Amino acid sequence: IGAERFFEIFVDTPVNVCRERRPDASFDGFEPPTAPDLSVSLDDPRMHHSIEAIIEVLAKRGQFDQR
């Protein structure tokens, strides 16, 4: 897809919240990315802030431009 169309979003959610939501999943060995383009947290009750941040990054990178 090319570097100009790739960006990394780290969904920074505490492991205990992840385990509550997915008790059957293994989170052993998980390492957060070292330099994500954006970090958002889904344990914040105002999830719309994270959504707005993601949309803003997409817009800045021209993902909504008409081609």
Handedness of CA 44, 48, 49, 50 (dihedral sign): positive
pLDDT for residue 45: 65
Contact 33, 11 (CB under 8 A): no
Reported as a single tens digit per residue, the pLDDT across 33-49 is 999 999 988 766 678 88
Q: Among candidates 3, 6, 4, 13, which has minimal Cα distance to 50? A: 13
Closest CA to 25 of 34, 37, 13: 13
Asked if 4 and 60 touch (Cβ cutoff 8 Å), the reply is: no
pLDDT at position 67 is 58
CB 40 within 8 A of CB 14: no
Please give the model's pTM, rounded to 2 decimal places: 0.68
